[in-house]
Homo-oligomer: A and B are copies of this chain.
Amino acid sequence: MARSSTNLRYRILNQARQTLVSEGYRALSMRRLANSVGCTATSIYLYFQNKDALFHALIDEGIGLLHQKLVQAGQSAGQAKDRLQDLAEAFLDFGLKNPEYYEVMFLLHPEHMERYPAEKYRKARENLEFFAQALAEDAGRPQNPTKEDRLQANVVWASLHGAVSLLLAGRVDVRLDQKLFLNTLVKQFIQPTSP
């Protein structure tokens, strides 16, 4: 009862994320969510216009969190190649440690995404720019990522996304050492500097 009124909105989002990862997408109904939180379904509508809005809030959170992690990773002062490595690891770490956000951000069925406000969505893609910049730098074109760099960034992005989504879906051979798998994947696009 004590802290029960400290921002119901917050608690709803928390519970939603939790449910999403522990019981899956279909279990996330407004009523069940309300039950878990300890309020009525109606109350959720005080904070979110509808279910979509709730999802979008989760996506916003997720994008923010990923952004933050990439900023941190991108701040390392060393070589561009190391920065790229850090960025990749940050992304993988984010995906694997926050499956609920990853699910909602990248795996959710398009029906929800279609209604996600385009402006916010564009914002999301900015995260990609971090990779482009590191790649540009590595190629000796600091702070001015070219079309080519962006192309490469998308490739990196796709590879990372593929790895995370297969892992989250439990579709990578279990006998594989996960760290080794990810390292190999990352090495793929971080070419050793030719001496």
Contact = CB atoms under 8 A, between A and B. Distances in A.
Interface string A157-195: 111111101100111110010001100110011000000
A18 to B, nearest CB: 16
A25 interface: yes
Given A162-B165, A165-B165, A173-B125, A185 B24 contact: no
Interface residues of A, number: 37
Given A163-B162, A166-B161, A24 B111 contact: yes
A173 B36 CA distance: 39
B109 A24 contact: yes
18 contacts: A24-B111, A25-B109, A26-B111, A106-B169, A110-B170, A128-B173, A150-B173, A151-B176, A154-B172, A154-B173, A154-B181, A155-B181, A158-B163, A158-B185, A159-B159, A159-B185, A159-B188, A165-B165
